[in-house]
Amino acid sequence: MAVGAWLTLAALARAAAGAPELEYLFPAGGQHGARFEVIGGGKLDPWPVGVWTDDAGIQFAPGLTNGVFEVAIDPGVAPGGHLVRVYTSEGASKPALFMVGTDPEVTRFPQSPANQAHAAAPPAPIPVTLNGQLRSADARLLFPIEAGADRVVRARFMASPLDSPAQASLALLKDGTPLVATLDPAGRDFELRCPIVAGGPLSLEVTALAGSYLGDAAVFRVEVTDDPLVPIPRSHATSAISEGVTAFRPMTSARTLAIAGQTRGVISPEGRVIHYSFMAHQNEQFRFVAKAGSIGSPLAPVVRVLAPDRTVLAESLPGADAELVWIAPSDGEHLLAVTDAEGRGGTTYAFQLEVEEPRAHFSAVLEDHAFQLRPGGSCVCDVRVLRPVSSDIVVSVSAIDLADGVTAGSVHAAAGLDRVRLVLSAAAAAKPSNSPFRIMVMTTGETPPRIEFARFSLEPRHTDGSALAVRDCNQPWLTVRTAE
């Protein structure tokens, strides 16, 4: 074969290879401090691939077998959702979701010779997180667990947070007999609950729903926890003159919240929640402060922002005084709720609520998750700047944490300009590389300036994305490829 023809075929082979694709991880999470194997599904050639995670404490090392990773999670990694990418000289995959938990975990590998070992394994004490796949229509996975006496067992089935198409029913069995089952759950994610009076070994059965998606990507996690079984109190007759009876009509309407302004309230009786209504515009930043401890009140205040349907959008952290900074995602009426974090209350459980004038906020959105360059070439990053209507915020857009040999100029976005184009350029001598970078958006004319980083949304494959454990990321990817 002529040398020219061979080079052409080699170039076509590289072009056909393209960036890798990471479609799923199984198990889709693990306990912090643990070491275990994870199977990655998708296009992972040539092997071994490089791996990036959003936390350096989550380490993925490619094993000897294509698609198998040795994973180690440091004890200090924050529980919750994390992101994993794989990359080669051709580019990087879209981020995949990976969960880190605090409880021990059990993974069941269906259609595997290891099934016998799993079946013979001793029951896992609660709390425990169970991992599985629904690969076939007759998929029926049994997880032995051990429950204590006088407990309420809770089994939370999770698929949507992982962007998994898995749909299943759960049943809690004792000696092979169902105690309780969710045969047709209303949603992809749900919770099964069952009171257990006499503790002992149980089994949690996971069965694929008829007509649901089946395959390797149908991964799931079941978080099994328990709570004390609360005894049923004996009822006592009361009369209008019984001591301790307090006449109270719960508030169903919301007060109008003055912005900016101050107001006071009392959480009485126990468990009371006071609601305030207010109007917000998209990308307005609000700061709410409920003072209690600093004014001598025993109240442990918690402040929540609610959607009109009472869905919680944001919640303050615990403290003697509660502070919540919240950015409105859209125009419209919202609710602010104030109550005691532990459900207490009384005539002395007072608070002072302070609300500042909302501040115009800005953010930036990337339309792509990854970019590629060749030495001597350039590429364009389209950045959409989001600001409140009629905002006079002027921002500067630039790229940081770029690989050696890659540069980018700074672009100003005047008030009213909602889209800018940032150009990345690679020097002729730039070496091949793969790394994340960030696009910084900074206000001008303010001291000190406010800084945000442009984010791209994760593109779900199997769900609508509303329940993803992580919805966006501020670390796009840059691949500098070899010179042609």
Q: Beta strands of 281-387 (E only): which ranges?
A: 284-291, 301-306, 312-315, 322-327, 332-340, 350-355, 359-360, 363-366, 370-373, 378-386
Residues 303 and 376 in one domain: no
Which pTM value belongs to this model?
Answer: 0.77
Residues 325 and 411 in one domain: no
Residues 411 and 340 in one domain: no
The Cα–Cα gap between 474 and 219 comes to: 26
Instruction: Check residue 110 and give its pLDDT.
Output: 61
Q: For residue 432, what are its two tokens?
A: 């091949």
Q: Is residue 244 part of a domain?
A: no
- In the chain (484 residues long), the average pLDDT of successive 10-residue segments reads 36 56 97 96 95 97 96 95 96 97 89 46 92 86 93 94 94 91 80 90 92 92 90 48 37 77 91 92 88 93 90 87 88 92 91 87 91 95 85 89 94 86 95 96 88 93 89 96 85
CATH code: domain of residue 21: 2.60.40.10
Rounded alpha-carbon distances, angstroms, from residue 282 to 45, 334, 361? 43, 12, 9
CATH code: domain of residue 135: 2.60.120.380
Q: Is residue 63 part of a domain?
A: yes
**Each residue's pLDDT tens digit, 208-255:** 998 888 999 999 999 999 988 876 555 444 444 333 333 333 445 788
Q: Is residue 235 part of a domain?
A: no
Residues 476 and 368 in one domain: yes
3-state secondary structure of 47: coil
Residues 216 and 292 in one domain: no
Q: Is residue 464 part of a domain?
A: yes
Give the sheet arrangement for strand 312-315, strand by strand.
Answer: 255-256, 274-280, 332-340, 301-306, 312-315
**Each residue's pLDDT tens digit, 463-483:** 888 889 999 999 999 999 998
Residues 369 and 303 in one domain: no
Residue type present at position 273: V
Q: Is residue 61 part of a domain?
A: yes
Domain count, the chain: 4
Residues 86 and 136 in one domain: no
CB 287 within 8 A of CB 323: yes
Residue bearing tokens 């360059």:
373
Residues 353 and 282 in one domain: yes
Residues 389 and 332 in one domain: no
* Domain around 218: 113-228
End residue of a domain, out of 357, 387, 412: 357
End residue of a domain, out of 45, 71, 101: 101
H or E element at residue 254: none
Residues 59 and 86 in one domain: yes
Q: Is residue 11 part of a domain?
A: no
Task: Please provide the size of the chain in residues.
Answer: 484
Residues 21 and 87 in one domain: yes
Alpha helix positions (H), 311-448: none
CB 70 within 8 A of CB 35: yes
Instruction: Check residue 215 and give its pLDDT.
Output: 92
Give the sheet arrangement for strand 451-453, strand by strand.
Answer: 411-413, 395-400, 438-443, 451-453
